[in-house]
A = this chain, B = another copy of it.
Amino acid sequence: MGLSKTEQFTDEEILIARFAKALGHPARIAILRVLLERKACICGDIVDELPLSQSTVSQHLKELKEAGLIQGDIDGKKVCYCINEQVWKQAQETLGILFQSYTASDTSCC
C-alpha cells in the first residue's frame, strides 16, 4: 500500500536511507553544491541558480532541512542556509561505512 514499513528495519538502515533519500534528487544535489561553494547562502540566491520555481525550491530546502543536512537561519527578511556540519559528517560516515564494507571478492558472482 505504498507505506514504508520502516518499523521493520534497523535504526541504522533507516538513518542511511533517510540521508540517501534526501540526496536522491538532482535539484537537492544542485542546492547542496551552491551551499558547498558559497559556504552560506540566501534562499533567494539558490532560487536564482536553479531552474525551478520559488515554491519548489523551498520544498526541496525543507526536505534537506528535515534530513538535518542543512540549517536555515533567519536574517532579517531573508533566510540564510548552510550545511549542518555535524549531520553532514554523520551522513558522510554512515554512508562511507556502507561503501567501505565492500571488499572486492575474487569471484564476482556465482
Contact = CB atoms under 8 A, between A and B. Distances in A.
Nearest to A70: B109
Nearest to A100: B92
- Counting every copy of the chain, the complex holds 2
A27 interface: yes
A8 B49 CA distance: 11
B30 A13 contact: yes
A19 to B, nearest CB: 8
Given A80-B110, A85-B108, A99-B88, A26 B39 contact: no
Closest 10 CB pairs of A and B: A21-B24, A20-B23, A80-B110, A9-B26, A8-B51, A92-B99, A20-B24, A13-B26, A82-B109, A13-B29
